């Protein structure tokens, strides 16, 4: 089994991308943030190293969750 180790620079990239989509305030939930972080780590593990590609992956994830959240409120 091979392992992919994230470098400190990889971790900084992930944190920077998470900050861009983080919801401020007391209603902030760590479950979505954990899922987003895992998604980005998985992206790195699968060879996605360009920040723009990771940003696009995260944006699609956030958009999907907003759609799902709005459909649950109907």
Secondary structure (DSSP) of 43-60: HHHTT---HHHHHHHHHH
* Residue whose token pair is 């060879």: 47
The model's pLDDT over 37-66, given as tens digits with 9 standing for 90+, comes to: 999 999 999 999 999 999 999 999 999 888
Task: Report the chain's mean pLDDT, rounded to a whole number.
Answer: 86
* Cα–Cα nearest to 4, from 54, 40, 44, 38: 44
The predicted pLDDT at position 52 comes to 96
**What are the residue ranges spanned by the domains of the chain?**
50-74
């Amino acid at each position: 089994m091979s392992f992919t180790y994230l470098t400190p620079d990889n971790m900084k990239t992930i944190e920077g991308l998470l900050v861009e989509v983080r919801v401020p305030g007391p209603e902030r939930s760590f479950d979505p943030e954990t899922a987003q972080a895992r998604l980005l780590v998985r992206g790195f593990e699968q060879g996605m190293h360009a920040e723009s590609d990771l940003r696009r992956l995260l944006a699609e994830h956030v958009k999907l969750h907003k759609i799902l959240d709005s459909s649950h409120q109907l």
